[in-house]
Amino acid sequence: MIREKPLVLVVDDEVHILHVVSLKLTNAGYTVLTAEDGEQAYDLALEQQPDLVITDFQMPYMTGLELCQKLKEHELTRATPALMLTARGFSLPAEALEQTNIAGVLSKPFSPREVLARVQELIGSHSSPEVTESI
């Protein structure tokens, strides 16, 4: 699927986190979709095939880990990397990472700049000219 801008799916049941992360990524030149639970995110991911999924671990209906496992099992989203947001001090077991495409884990609270830096590492920078800072 060819796009003008990379597409990032942000999934969290906390609306303020969706807003902050979406705003930071949109301002950096990414196209952003949001979902408030794992089931909604899974449907959106199959329909839109994002370049990256940023998901909270603890959510209703389907956890972020379950979402990432289902995405890896599906042909359309098998190669889609994911960035997992977790509560401070929570760690994912190594086997969970092996069964998913989780490419990184960030603990809450996190800095929106840190999220943007990880997105740029995983799928590349995509600043629009009016947002690019001069050196």
C-alpha distance from residue 64 to each of 13, 17, 72, 134 (Å):
11, 15, 12, 37
Reading the block at residue 30, the tokens are 């990414």
**Please, which contacts does 73-77 make with residues 24 or more away whose CB atoms are closer than 8 Å?**
74/46, 76/45, 76/46, 76/49, 77/45, 77/46, 77/49
Q: What is the pLDDT of residue 50?
A: 97
The model's pTM: 0.88
Q: What is the pLDDT of residue 3?
A: 75
pLDDT band at 127 (very low <50, low <70, confident <90, very high): low
Q: What percent of the chain has pLDDT over 70?
A: 88
The CATH homologous superfamily to which domain 7-123 belongs is Response regulator (3.40.50.2300)
Q: What is the pLDDT of residue 135?
A: 35
C-alpha distance from residue 31 to each of 51, 91, 101 (Å):
10, 29, 21
Q: What is the pLDDT of residue 2?
A: 65
Tens digits of residue pLDDT in 51-99: 999 999 999 889 999 999 999 999 999 999 999 998 866 677 777 777 8
The one-letter amino acid at 125: S
